[in-house]
Amino acid sequence: MRQSLDSATQEALAARLRFYRDLGLHEFYRRPVDPALLADAPSMPSQAEPSVVPARQAQPINMPIPDTLEDQPIPPRTTFPEPPGVGAAVAPAEREKALRILREEIGDCTRCALHTGRNKLVFADGDPNARLMFVGEGPGADEDAQGLPFVGRAGQLLNNMIAAMGLKREEVYIANVVKCRPPGNRTPEPDEANTCTPFLFRQIDVVRPQVLVALGATAATYLLGQRQPLAGLRGRVHAFRGSQLIVTYHPAYLLRDPRQKKEAWADLQIAMRELGLKAPARD
Ligand code: URA
């Protein structure tokens, strides 16, 4: 006899299904391939969210897809030395206040040129005591309008990724490398990112998440302080300011090339392993 699932489990399973569906698994089984769809991969992914995201296309069917995504091997854990300058721990009960004070210190910021084009400064969203934190690149149009990170299409995908991990968005903490929207969603310039990241680092020091996920190359570059292709940074755990840092693809990139979602899911599984989370069972 089938047992009924509680609503949280049902929502987590539904989110995973959406995530798998976006991978194109159902099309893999059902559809004959249209060769025109096989030549769609972008040559050089930019991290910025495109202002117009192309409609989702059916996925190529000739790629190897494992029977279950859980079967993918998780690479062995490697840790790297801490960078210097890790801040003092803030007691859990003080974190919300500490973040409020930090937000006040940032104020109506004019420290870099990005302030000239912004509508709303995007500080962060989520639980000051989160065990898991995501860092993106910078606000896009929707985020600039609402003053919250990851509320556009990339944000919807991030929400699905979080739910597929068995968590709620309110349980994690989300911030960006820069807090003001770069014009045309371009990548932040180094002087803009370097002006803003001291505040991001202080947010990280306050929240002190167990696991930090860098979404895309810009976040990875400015968190780790080294510019490297994502391929060299993914698949392992970096020690960073008291957290385990994991690097994965930016959701905006996954919207443009959904075939990479299975790689992103493998990265999220590393995060889940560090957090001791088990993905909700299917069925
Ligand atoms: N892309 C980002 O990097 N951050 C956001 O907040 C939204 C889109």
Shared domain for 223 and 252, answered yes or no, is: yes
What is the model's pTM?
Answer: 0.74
Look at residue 150 and give its three-state secondary structure. Answer: coil
Pocket of ligand 1 contains residue 144 by CB under 6 Å: no
Tell me which of 73, 103, 135 is where a domain ends.
73
What pLDDT was estimated at residue 265? 96
Tell me which of 73, 107, 125 is where a domain ends.
73
Shared domain for 50 and 155, answered yes or no, is: no
Which numbered atom of ligand 1 lies nearest the CA of 149? 6
Shared domain for 68 and 100, answered yes or no, is: no
Give the CATH number of the domain where residue 101 resides: 3.40.470.10
C-alpha 164 to ligand 1 mean position (Å):
19
Judge whether 280 lies within some domain.
Answer: no
C-alpha 226 to ligand 1 mean position (Å):
21
Shared domain for 59 and 129, answered yes or no, is: no
What pLDDT was estimated at residue 118? 98
Shared domain for 204 and 106, answered yes or no, is: yes
Shared domain for 109 and 211, answered yes or no, is: yes
Residue with tokens 């929240």: 207
Measured CA angle at 32 (ends 26, 33), to 5 deg: 95
**Joined tokens for residue 69:** 């995504």
Pocket of ligand 1 contains residue 185 by CB under 6 Å: no
What pLDDT was estimated at residue 226? 86
Which numbered atom of ligand 1 lies nearest the CA of 215? 3
Residue with tokens 């495109």: 50
Shared domain for 26 and 64, answered yes or no, is: yes
Shared domain for 118 and 29, answered yes or no, is: no
Q: How far apart, in whole angstroms, are the C-alpha atoms of residue 184 and residue 240?
A: 31
Look at residue 155 and give its three-state secondary structure. Answer: helix
Judge whether 80 lies within some domain.
Answer: no
Q: How far apart, in whole angstroms, are the C-alpha atoms of residue 62 and residue 33?
A: 8
C-alpha 220 to ligand 1 mean position (Å):
14
Q: Which H helix or E strand runs over 211?
A: strand 211-215
Shared domain for 49 and 14, answered yes or no, is: yes
Judge whether 231 lies within some domain.
Answer: yes
Length of the chain: 283
Distances (CA, A) of 70 to 17, 22, 67, 75, 208: 14, 17, 9, 13, 28
Q: At residue 260, what are phi and psi to the nearest 5 degrees?
A: -80, 0
Q: For residue 62, give its domain range.
A: 1-73
Q: Best mutation site among 137, 142, 181, 248 for ligand 1, i.e. most ligand atoms within 8 A of its Cβ? A: 137
How many folded domains does the chain comprise? 2
Pocket of ligand 1 contains residue 137 by CB under 6 Å: yes
Output the DSSP codes for 26-88: HHHHHPPP-GGGGG---SS--SSPPSSPPPPPPPPS-S---SSGGGSPPPPP---PPPS-PPP
Shared domain for 69 and 96, answered yes or no, is: no
C-alpha 180 to ligand 1 mean position (Å):
10
Judge whether 85 lies within some domain.
Answer: no
C-alpha 47 to ligand 1 mean position (Å):
9
Pocket of ligand 1 contains residue 150 by CB under 6 Å: yes
Shared domain for 193 and 270, answered yes or no, is: yes
Per-residue pLDDT of the chain (283 residues; tens, 9 = 90+): 445 667 766 766 666 665 555 544 333 223 333 333 333 333 333 333 332 223 333 333 333 333 333 444 444 444 444 444 455 689 999 999 999 999 999 999 999 999 999 999 999 999 999 999 999 999 999 999 999 999 999 999 999 999 999 999 999 999 999 999 999 999 999 999 999 999 999 999 999 999 999 999 999 999 999 888 999 999 999 999 899 999 999 999 999 999 999 999 999 999 999 999 987 766 5
Pocket of ligand 1 contains residue 126 by CB under 6 Å: no
- Residue 178 and residue 193 in contact, taking contact as beta carbons nearer than 8 Å: yes
Q: Best mutation site among 46, 114, 143 for ligand 1, i.e. most ligand atoms within 8 A of its Cβ? A: 143
Judge whether 79 lies within some domain.
Answer: no
Pocket of ligand 1 contains residue 125 by CB under 6 Å: no
- Residue 51 and residue 184 in contact, taking contact as beta carbons nearer than 8 Å: yes
Strand 125-126 and strand 173-176: the pairing is antiparallel
Q: In what order do the strands lie in the sheet with 238-240?
A: 125-126, 173-176, 132-136, 211-215, 243-248, 238-240
Shared domain for 123 and 209, answered yes or no, is: yes
Judge whether 111 lies within some domain.
Answer: yes
